[in-house]
Amino acid sequence: MEGFLAAAVIAGTPLLFATVGELLTEKAGNLNLGVEGLMVMGAVIGFIVGYRTGSPILAFLGALAAGSAGSLIFAMLTVSLRVNQVVTGLTLTIFGQGFASFVGSSVMGAVLPYSIKEFFQVIAIPGLSSIPFIGPIFFKQDIFVYFGYLVVIVTATYLYKTKKGLNLRSVGESAASADASGIHVNWYKYIHIIIGGALCALGGAYLSLVTVPVWQENIIAGRGWIAVALVIFASWNPIKALGGAYLFGGLNILGFRLQSVGIHISQYLIDMLPYAATIVIVIISTRKNKKEDMPPADLSNPYFREER
């Protein structure tokens, strides 16, 4: 059981990065459906940089840069040029996939240098890892997983405890009122779309650098879309996103586990589980009526000051 839950945390980590990334983007009032594309860009650039340089830090930074560049395109189109966000996001996904399969063809089947594997091996946190049950699940993991916890804590603190976080939320709730109170709306949108995109790309890089760890074109396999749904599931709250991501991580690996304990259901049917669960979640979360569980009120509306 502990082994399964620890594996669920690993499987949930790429979802976690992408979910928090998309959450930040949506808090700024922009719905980026390019998560899948950003993840695959992060996965391929992270892998290539890691493979060529052998440096995990550079691989990490490479993925961040890929995600920032991809989401910068999205920001320019949707914030400055006010193009429809749904269509721009989808285009970003198509572009990202084309870009990744082109760039990635040079490292198909390549094996990462040992320095990378060594860096991302399991590190038990002294003390915490000896807590019964919880320790082996959460504190005997690799450094990427720990970074995931950090991202959640920082994001939650930022959103709910700082002035800038409050400003960001007001941009998402009503860009016009935020503007009127002197907040630089477009700056906030740009910065958070770019940080969000960089986080999505990190999620992809975790797959190509740690879990899989080879480059393959269908490496993301719809996780970007599940992340978009998880933002709804988490009702735009980073702490809830943590639980949601690990829950879905568990669903992702359930098939293998069931087979290993002798329950034989077609793999293809079990593969349907995370997607079916996402639908159930989307339906359930529509039923919410508490105010703090609602999406940012100004989500996916382009802002044009002169139109106020």
Partner 1 sequence: MKWFSLKKREELPTKKAWIIRGAAIVLSILCAGLVILLLGFNPLVTFGEMVKGALGSKIRLTQTMLKAIPLIVTTLGIIIAFKMKFWNIGGEGQIMMGALAASFVALNFPDMPRALLLLCMAIAAVIGGGLWAFIPAFFKAKMGTNETIFTLMLNYLAIKFVTYLQYGPWRDPGSKGFPKVADFSQNAILPNVFGLHVGWIIALVLIAIIYIFMNYTKKGYEISVVGESLDTARYAGMNIKSIIITAMLISGGLCGLTGMIQASAIEKTLTYSLSAGMGFTAIITAWLSRLNALASLFVCVAFAVLLQGGAYIQISMQIPASVADMIQGILLFFVLSSEFFLQYKVNFHFKKAKGVA
258 binds partner 1 per the rule CB under 8 A:
no
Closest approach, Cβ 105 to partner 1, in A, equals: 6
- Listed ranges 9-17, 88-96, 149-157, 192-200: which one lies at the site for partner 1 (CB under 8 A): 88-96
From candidates 225, 246, 248, 303, binder to partner 1 by CB under 8 A:
225
CB proximity list for 238: less than 8 A, separation 6 or greater = 20, 23, 152, 155, 156, 159
Cβ atoms < 10 Å from Cβ of 35? 34
Residue count, binding to partner 1 (CB under 8 A): 45
Rule CB under 8 A: say whether 88 interacts with partner 1. yes
Q: Is 256 in the site for partner 1 (CB under 8 A)?
A: no
Residue 105 within binding range of partner 1, rule CB under 8 A: yes
Determine, following the binding rule CB under 8 A, whether residue 278 of this chain makes contact with partner 1. yes
The residue within the footprint of partner 1, chosen from 57, 87, 111, 134 (CB under 8 A), is: 87
275 binds partner 1 (CB under 8 A): yes
Q: Are 227 and 56 in contact (CB under 8 A)?
A: no
The whole-angstrom separation of Cα 102 and Cα 207 is 18
Between 129 and 285, whose beta carbon lies closer to partner 1? 285
Amino acid at the residue 34: G
Tracing tokens 């735009």 back to the chain, one arrives at 236
297 binds partner 1 (CB under 8 A): no
Nearer of residues 161 and 287 to partner 1, judged by Cβ: 287
- Cβ atoms of 144 and 120 within 8 Å: the answer is yes
Closer to partner 1 by CB, 263 or 272: give it: 272
Which residues are near partner 1 by CB under 8 A?
33, 73, 77, 81-84, 86-88, 90-102, 105, 222, 225, 228-229, 232, 266, 268-269, 271-272, 275-276, 278-279, 282-283, 286-287, 304, 306-307
